[in-house]
Amino acid sequence: MVKSDDGRPDRKPSTRLVRVGRDEALTGPFVNPPVVHASTVLFPDTDTMLSRRQRYLYGRRGTPTSEALETAISDIEGASGTVICPSGLNAVSTALLSALSTGDEVLIVDCVYGPVRHFADTVLKRMGIDTVYFDPAIGTGIADLISERTAAVYLEAPGSLTFEMQDVPAIAGIAHDRGATVLFDNTWATPFFFKPLAVGVDLSIQAGTKYLGGHSDVNLGLVAANERHWPALKEAHGTMGLCAGPDDIYLGLRGLRTMGVRLERQMQSALTVAGWLQDRPEVARVLHPALPDDPGHALWKRDMGGACGLFSIILDGWSLDDTKSLVDGLDLFGIGASWGGFESLAILADPRKQRTAVPWAAEGPLVRLHIGLEDPGDLIADLKAGFDRIAAA
């Protein structure tokens, strides 16, 4: 493994983001690691190849570039090891497959990212693995759902569209008592604001496509494992032949160095915009756990050190056509999937299509906003102009 230049836990998070995963043995006098494009790796002799006594064996199984990012993520997650996947969804599927076998059952929180639900309802179902979806607010009640077949519990806090928090330490403790592996999607908070492994999670997942890359130009996924689950994760990842391209890995590593600065700016801008939206008559609710009156605020405040730029609003009694017109007419908010980049986004979403354990009911349509690096005053002015335009029509 690459030795981190300075991943000491007594260093502040921003310092560690800059220092981890850097090894002078690989970079020499340069700040960044080489971007190694490789498939074949040569051995000095047959004995070395047969014994596998070499730092690198094959391009798919590791290069100086991938090793630098793996080690950096392991340092900031407090993990025994990390694997890199070609997308966030692939990181989820890899993590789940490392924990599940035919005949098992997995419990998945009902506010989970939609494509994860699709993976469970299709691929896992074909493999003979049953999925049970549960209320995000279940807390210690998870004990009533765990059966002899339950091999894993999958959490995502806050949820992708509706932003419910979950009591991660409580659920993880009960799951472990019953022999289940705990997985957590940490894309929203990132390991900069939350370290799931420190509160009992076995596999911490993040879509590096989002805040790690930070510029909407890379697809990456990462899974960090604790000591108990690292061998199974490494085996599953290697056996399935997964790897990400060196240029994408390099962009992820570069994004890591500025992730803290971007997150803190986008958090503050998002809170400014969210606070303004709370006072608008057009808005019934703002779904953001960092707001004091949010139902998940106490859990967020206890467990996480910050928030990102993603949240949702519920429009008060609006029609679908008016909501579409609002989103279509915004100037500074693009319409597009993903988030975590430098640009602001707005999408219309219907959580009712993705809930089975707890029906979703709201006062009106849901719009998810991602607050980028634009000036929050300009974003507020853009939203106000949109509200005024719909009112005038």
| Residues with catalytic roles | 60, 113, 185, 210
| 34 touches 26 (CB < 8 A) | yes
User: Distance (Å, rounded) from C-alpha 116 to C-alpha 197?
Assistant: 21
The phi, psi pair for 347, rounded to 5°, reads -135, 150
| 280 touches 228 (CB < 8 A) | no
CA dist 93 to 75, 97, 369, Å? 23, 6, 26
| 225 touches 79 (CB < 8 A) | yes
User: Distance (Å, rounded) from C-alpha 135 to C-alpha 155?
Assistant: 11
| 364 touches 314 (CB < 8 A) | yes
Structure tokens at 257: 């160095």
Structure tokens at 252: 């992820």
Per DSSP, the residues of 349-368 read E-GGGG-SSS----SS-EEE
How far is C-alpha 276 from the chain's CA centre? 27
CB-based burial label for 323 (10 Å; 0-12, 13-18, 19+): middle
**Runs of H (alpha helix) within 78-167:** 88-99, 114-119, 125-126
User: Distance (Å, rounded) from C-alpha 164 to C-alpha 385?
Assistant: 29
Select from 184, 170, 174 the least CA-distant residue to 145. Answer: 174
For CA atoms 278, 283, 284, 287, give the dihedral sign: negative
Buried b (16+ CB within 10 A) or exposed e, 341-380: bebbbbbbbebeebbebbeeebebbbbbbbbbbbebeebb
